[in-house]
Homo-oligomer: A and B are copies of this chain.
Amino acid sequence: MSKRCYRQYCSLARALDLVGERWTLLIIRELLSGPRRYQELLDNLPGIGTNLLATRLRELGGEGIVRKVLLSAPRIRAYELTEMGRALEPAVVELARWGLAVRGQPRPDDHWSAQWSPLALRARFQADKAAGIDAIYEYDVGGHVFHARIRNQSIETRPGTASSPDVRLVTDEETFLDLATESLSVEQAVESGRLCLEGTPEAIRSSLEVFAA
Residues of A participating in the B interface, judged by any CB pair closer than 8 Å: 6-16, 18, 20-22, 25-26, 29, 46-47, 63, 84, 87-88, 90-104, 106-107, 109-113, 116, 119-120, 123, 177
Contact = CB atoms under 8 A, between A and B. Distances in A.
A10 to B, nearest CB: 5
B102 A98 contact: no
Nearest to A100: B11
B102 A18 contact: yes
Given A47-B6, A88-B98, A91-B95, A26 B14 contact: no
A20 B18 contact: no
Q: Is the interface of A mostly helix, strand, loop or mixed?
A: helix
A63 B98 CA distance: 14
A33 to B, nearest CB: 12
A97 B9 CA distance: 14
Contacts of A97: 11, 90-91
Nearest to A22: B20
A98 to B, nearest CB: 5
9 contacts: A7-B47, A7-B107, A9-B110, A10-B113, A11-B103, A15-B95, A16-B26, A18-B102, A90-B94
Nearest to A120: B11
A94 B96 contact: no
Closest 6 CB pairs of A and B: A15-B99, A11-B99, A91-B94, A14-B103, A9-B110, A9-B106
